[in-house]
Amino acid sequence: MLVIMVALKKSGKLPSPLPRNDEQITMQPCDIILYSSQTFVLAYDTNSWSLTRLGKLDGIGKDELKKLLGTSSVEIRLSLK
């Protein structure tokens, strides 16, 4: 379980660090980001920083994502296939 909450994004600490490949990027809404090896970020606005881009949510817009995530903490479950 990952419980997350921040201003321009939802973020939360992962249970263990992941390898990172940081680059100076501008994250966009729906980007899935790794920050400092152990923080998962789901962006719903833009921000520039040194980050590792993991992926992007397709088929959802910025406003829809903000509405879906709301203003309180959320639980996000990730799985690899």
Cα distance between the two ends of the chain: 18
Instruction: Give residue-wise pLDDT tens across range 7-63.
Output: 467 888 888 999 999 999 999 999 999 999 999 888 888 888 899 999 998 999 888
Listed by start position, the domains of the chain span 3-62
pTM: 0.78
Report CA-CA distances (Å) from 61 to 16, 20, 21, 30, 72. Answer: 30, 27, 26, 8, 19
Average pLDDT over residues 74-79: 77
Which residue carries 């729906």 as its tokens? 30
Choose the weakest-confidence range: 2-6, 8-12, 13-17, 68-72.
Answer: 2-6
Q: Return the pLDDT at 5.
A: 40
- In angstroms, the CA 63 to CA 53 distance is 21
| Helix (H/G/I), strand (E/B), else coil: 10 | strand
- In angstroms, the CA 46 to CA 17 distance is 24
